[in-house]
Chains A and B, each alone.
Chain A
Amino acid sequence: MAAVMEVDNPEPLKNGAKEVNGEDALAKAAAEKENLETTTVEDIKDFIKLLERAVTAGDARLVVRPVRGLAYIRKNLNVAVVRRVIRGVCINKDDKIYFAQFVGDLTVDDSTMDDSKKSPYGSVFQKLANTIHKQGTMIPEVNVYLHLLVLIHLLDNGKNAEALACADTLMGKVISNTRRTMDPLAARVYFLYARAYEVNGRLSSLRRFLLCRLRTSTLRQDEEGQATLINALLRSYIQDNLYDQAEKLVGKLSYPESVHNNHLARFQYYLGRIKATKLDYSEAHQHLLQASRKVPTHGAIGFKQTVQKWLVTVELLLGDIPERSMFLEKEYRKCLVPYYQVTLAIRAGKLARFNETLQTYTEQFKKDETYSLIVRLRHNVIKTGIRTINSAYSRISVVDVAKKLQLESVEDVYFILAKAISERAIEAQLLADSGTLVSKENVNVYATKDPFVAYDKRIKFCLETYDQSVKAMRFPPKSYHGDLETAEERREREQQEAELAKEIADEEDDIL
């Protein structure tokens, strides 16, 4: 995941600034930065308002938007933004003192803000600050939201030890609250909490706690929370190679289906890895394929690359040769080089070449954690060799097969061939007494059940998708006897929808 986090962190301000000369450029960059900060602060303010509305209405669904919005706020989050928000909305002194230990002094104003801009902000913030405080204390949801911003800021700036302390108190706040409106926030907190422990190398100590929270969120039917916790647990198991425990966990729970694709992608990836280790390659292949499909189209390159590496490996283990075009795609060309070489060796059916490749890239495979799978590929090299021979010769003596495969023991070749036939890797018969391999005529697939089954599967999938999309539609209550909307209302609604669409697109960029 580390790779994912890194690629998610573009620095939007550097682009093009160099070409314009001297002070002009500096001034322009500063203004741009200022601008960006202001819009970010505005966004955060909007989200806080929304949180307040959600709490008053008791509608947990309204909380989802501010939480998802964190993804693109994160890109522009810096210490100045965090300070401005906290200074603006915190009335309670204790809150201020607490946050100050992470983001620095809050009493002094930023020098970047001149007086003309300060005043209107102050009053707007004042109003907001008043609405989100009930009898002098901040609404817990808003408090947690601010805390989340601070934690994200700490993690992104590599302040690991502080992040850990920050995450601990944050978790305390979340646990003590049992309102439904807290659930979407809690899911995010679980993720960052686990992340904070991971960067400090202490993820494994968290398992008991995470399992406990998983139980609670299952009882509360908090799907986002469940999804996040399951992923965190699987991650911790796989990190320590505890595939048995991971498999048992997966076997005993049902994963919430309606959560965000990013959660699903991760879950499918972990499942794929577990199944691959357990030699269930066709299952593993399906899961990894799902993972690669659920992944956002833009960004998350690190995750995509990792999934692709596993996908190629599992495909090879299944005895398939991945398509060449995949190795040539821009995103994967570089990182898949070792896997490309392995594929070539397998395609050629040359054991010597395979061993050579394995030796050259051992370190790379170990780093990718695919080494133990790659080692298992050895017998696939032989299998492809047999396949080629079988399709080229209708009848060949076993001794010749041994020679072609460069295997020393002819005796073993009998067994290898018998095994290949038994596993249906080749369609042939072995005449043991005369020592010959006789291949069968190619069977006509279209005369069998296979095409029927394949079509059936696809049709079922389409129908299922349709069913789900019908179920996912929502209608506002009692809207059917309301008046038709006026032109102005429509404009407003369309604008809102466009905004929402933009948010979703932005968020797709960011898998975190």
Chain B
Amino acid sequence: MSATGLQSLMSLYRQLTEEWNKRPMEKAKCESLLNSLKVALTEHHFIPTAEGEASKQEIILARDVLEMGAQFAIFDRDLKSFQRHIDQLKVYYYDVKGGIPDSSMMQQLLGLYLLSLLAENRLGDFHSEVELMSLDKIEKDQYLSFPVQLERNLMEGSYSKIFIAHKNVPAPSYGYFMELLANTTRIEIAKNISRACPLISADAARKMLFITSEPEFKTFVDQNKWKLAQNGVLNFDTERNLIQDQLLIESDMETDGRQITAADLTALSYQEVAETMLGYAKELEKIV
């Protein structure tokens, strides 16, 4: 890269940091600066490839810009954009080691990434991400241990701890994902209630869902198509709800227009038995 090219990039980056640190900052200006920076970076070796080595300065600059982008995405409440930035950043965090010091933002952003995976209920991805980090590091670092602890609570079913944790996040930027996580958890709780409790008073349900205001609860009930009886009690067909997932998968099954019931899934159909038996007969014919 030519020296002048790098110079102009640096000055752009300085402009961006200035803009970012202004309170209140101008969102549109930040965004346009960030975009032009990212475009400019693609013209240089901002990722080391087989063809040419990037200099330390270039790598650090590229990393800083991407980190800025990730933070901006959180500010902008754009989950997809945030995860895209992190995917790019992971190259710098894990693969490019070439003598550059670890970024000060690294742990915080990785912690945020873990939290975003949790909020989206992508537990498999969450765990493969955790595997990449050393256990000691997770235990010592507050940014990383926070989502890991939350995951354990989630698995266990200690949902109240999730809502308590809302109050003591390690950094303000965690707030957005905590909101998302709270929603995901609420949906999970709602599912569990509908499967476990045949009848429950509206008040108790509201408390279990950690919803404080009545109107909010009302919209939640409507969203889930729950039926609130006159006496303020919610009734659930727990049997049917328990096999809900299966019902969804098998809803293409021929049912002659009537609804599938729980009994349909557990009982044997004559047709099925006959088909299987004929199949066996055919196979046996082949052998003898």
A residues contacting B by CB (< 8 A) are 241-244, 247, 277-280, 366, 371-372, 375-376, 378-379, 382, 409, 411-412, 414-422, 424, 428-433, 448-449, 452, 456, 459, 463, 466
Contacts and interface: CB of A to CB of B under 8 A. Distances in A.
A7 to B, nearest CB: 28
B196 A429 contact: yes
Nearest to A437: B196
B128 A247 contact: yes
B126 to A, nearest CB: 9
A241 B238 CA distance: 41
A497 B279 CA distance: 38
Nearest to A459: B280
Contact of A415 (B157, B265, B283, B287): B157
A422 B195 contact: yes
Interface string B199-223: 1110011001000000000000000
Contacts of A241: 128, 131-132
Contact of A372 (B135, B155, B156, B267): B135
Contact of A432 (B152, B155, B200): B200
A424 to B, nearest CB: 7
Contacts of B152: 375, 378-379
A415 B124 contact: no
A412 B200 contact: no
A433 B266 contact: no
Q: Sorted from nearest, which 3 A-B pairs have the closest CB atoms?
A: A419-B157, A418-B192, A278-B124
Contacts of A416: 156-158
A422 B197 contact: no
B158 A466 contact: no
B135 A244 contact: no
Interface of B: 123-125, 127-132, 135, 152, 155-161, 189, 191-193, 195-201, 204-205, 208, 238, 242, 265-268, 273, 276, 280, 283, 287
Given A422-B242, A429-B196, A459-B280, A243 B128 contact: yes
B268 A452 contact: yes
Contacts of B131: 241, 243, 277, 372
Contacts of B135: 366, 371-372
A162 B174 CA distance: 52
A415 B195 contact: no
Contacts of B196: 417-418, 421-422, 428-430
B208 A376 contact: no
A433 B157 contact: no
Contacts of B192: 415, 418-419, 421-422
A265 to B, nearest CB: 23
B267 to A, nearest CB: 7
Given A241-B132, A372-B131, A431 B197 contact: yes
A372 B199 CA distance: 39
Contacts of A371: 135
Contacts of A375: 152
A50 B192 CA distance: 67
A376 to B, nearest CB: 7
B8 to A, nearest CB: 35
B197 A432 contact: yes
A431 B189 CA distance: 15
A379 B128 contact: no
Given A412-B157, A430-B197, A448-B267, 16 more contacts: A243-B131, A277-B128, A279-B127, A372-B135, A379-B155, A379-B157, A412-B159, A415-B192, A417-B157, A418-B157, A418-B196, A419-B192, A422-B192, A429-B238, A452-B273, A466-B287
B189 to A, nearest CB: 7
Contacts of B283: 463
Of A278, A375, A424, A466, most buried by chain B (CB within 10 Å of CB) is: A278
Contacts of B161: 412
Nearest to A242: B132
A191 to B, nearest CB: 26
A382 B157 CA distance: 10
A279 B287 contact: no
A16 to B, nearest CB: 48
Contacts of A378: 152, 155-156
18 contacts: A241-B131, A242-B132, A244-B125, A277-B124, A277-B127, A412-B159, A415-B208, A417-B196, A418-B195, A418-B197, A421-B195, A422-B242, A429-B197, A429-B238, A432-B200, A433-B199, A449-B267, A452-B268
Contacts of B127: 243, 277-279, 372
B158 A409 contact: yes
Nearest to A451: B268
Nearest to A430: B196
A429 B198 contact: yes
A470 B6 CA distance: 69
